[in-house]
């Protein structure tokens, strides 16, 4: 994978000018370079419409999970809790970057390409989203969307972009932004499901370069592609075990046990009747798996429904 995210990296590094200005973003090149380098990237080898099917849940249960995630997020004081403050999700259709804004908003940046009549069109749009009302029982999000940046390329050539204040242009881009943002929200809820394990991937070359840049006051001048950053994949219980054992350059013993939710129904729980608890994931194995082709893998565990922590043997004792 990495097609859409890396396409956005190439666009920001090669097509955006330092001289360009935007009334919201200021310097778009600097803004998006920083955004890309801060983003924690998750790769999901799914079509955007297949996320609910991947969970194995019926529609009503899937919607209930998303509503509960928003409810827990509100308790945590954020619009929508994410595993990292800047979280990018790439599926087969697009790459979406979500970050926390001000006043309970999410800032959303979307990049995708598709072929229309033998021409390759690339779209890059950014804006913000505020959830006006909680997700209803039909699964409909009621967002206030703001659109403030957009680019279109045809076969690699930047196209004249109509005035974003024109109603039809603004409405079309806002709808595209809304659709991609809602999809990414569902994907993040899927990623944070305790039945799935998150594995961090990092190339040894990336680790070496990052260590050198860490002490450099200038940091990364250009945005980094997927292979040059830690990024994350999401696997089920059995796939996690087989993946780590199969990729390791040394024999390793791993034991990944999925977490799950438990609803307290017994009359014994007088005050907590009906409360939903998370039974944490369980993992035993090396903290780092040295793998083929210069990769290092680390298992990230979910201590609750809203956060990820690297697996530690010390903590597991």
The residue-averaged pLDDT of 110-115 equals 86
Query: What pLDDT is stored for residue 144 in this prediction?
Result: 83
Closest CA to 234 of 275, 189, 266: 189
Evaluate if residue 190 carries a pLDDT over 90: yes
First to last CA, the chain: 36
Whole-model pTM: value is 0.89
Q: Which of 62-66, 132-136, 188-192 has the lowest mean pLDDT?
A: 132-136
Task: Say if CB 305 and CB 263 are below 8 A apart.
Answer: no
Nearest Cα neighbor of 36 from 59, 9, 15, 54 is: 9
Locate the domains of the chain by residue range. 3-191, 197-316
Amino acid 257: pLDDT = 84
Overall size of the chain counted in residues: 317
CA dihedral 188, 192, 198, 202 (to 10 degrees): 40
Using the predicted structure, report yes or no on whether residue 118 has a pLDDT greater than 70. Answer: yes
Residues 6 or more apart whose CB falls under 8 angstroms from that of 184 comprise: 89, 96, 98, 108
Side-chain-side CA neighbours of 78 within 13 Å: the count stands at 18
Q: Is 78 left (phi over 0), alpha (psi -120 to 50) or beta?
A: beta
pLDDT given at position 316: 57
pLDDT at 71: 83
Assess whether pLDDT exceeds 60 at residue 134.
yes
317 contacts: CB under 8 Å, gap ≥ 6:
none
Per the CB < 8 A criterion, the answer to whether 45 and 54 are in contact is no
pLDDT digits (tens, 9 = 90+) for 198-220: 999 999 887 777 666 655 555 55
Q: Write the pLDDT tens digit of every residue in 15-36.
A: 998 999 988 889 999 999 999 9
Q: 93-107, 161-175, 290-304 — which is least confidently predicted? A: 161-175
DSSP class of 22: B
Asked which of 49-53, 92-96, 135-139, 150-154 is least confident by mean pLDDT, the reply is 135-139
Q: How far apart are CA 226 and CA 221, in angstroms?
A: 16
């Amino acid at each position: 994978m990495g097609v859409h995210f890396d396409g956005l990296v190439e666009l920001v590094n090669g097509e955006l000018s330092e001289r360009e200005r935007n009334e919201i973003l200021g310097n778009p090149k600097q803004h998006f370079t920083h955004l890309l380098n801060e983003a924690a990237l998750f790769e999901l080898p799914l079509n955007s419409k297949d996320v609910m099917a991947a969970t194995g849940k019926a529609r009503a249960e899937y919607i209930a999970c998303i509503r509960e995630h928003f409810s827990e997020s509100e308790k945590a004081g954020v619009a929508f809790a994410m595993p990292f403050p800047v979280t990018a999700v790439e599926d087969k259709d697009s790459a979406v970057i979500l970050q926390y804004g001000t006043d309970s908003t999410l800032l959303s940046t979307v990049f995708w390409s598709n072929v229309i009549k033998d021409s390759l069109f690339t779209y890059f749009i950014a804006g913000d989203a505020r959830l006006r009302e909680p997700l209803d029982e039909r699964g409909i999000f009621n967002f206030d969307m703001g659109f403030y940046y957009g680019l279109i390329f045809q076969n690699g050539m930047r196209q004249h972009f109509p005035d974003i204040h024109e109603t039809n242009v603004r409405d079309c881009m806002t709808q595209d932004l809304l659709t991609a943002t809602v999809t990414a929200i569902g994907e993040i809820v899927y990623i944070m499901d305790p039945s799935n394990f998150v594995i961090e991937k990092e190339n040894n070359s990336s680790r070496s370069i990052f260590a050198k840049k860490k002490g450099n006051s200038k940091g990364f001048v250009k945005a980094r592609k997927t292979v040059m950053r830690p990024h994350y994949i999401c696997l089920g219980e059995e796939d996690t075990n087989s993946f780590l054992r199969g990729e390791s350059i040394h024999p390793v013993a791993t034991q990944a046990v999925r977490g799950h939710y438990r609803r307290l129904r017994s009359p014994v729980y007088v005050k907590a009747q009906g409360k939903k608890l998370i039974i944490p994931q369980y993992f035993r194995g090396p903290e780092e798996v040295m793998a083929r082709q210069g990769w290092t893998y680390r298992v990230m565990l979910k201590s609750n429904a809203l956060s990820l922590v690297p697996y530690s043997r010390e903590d597991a004792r």
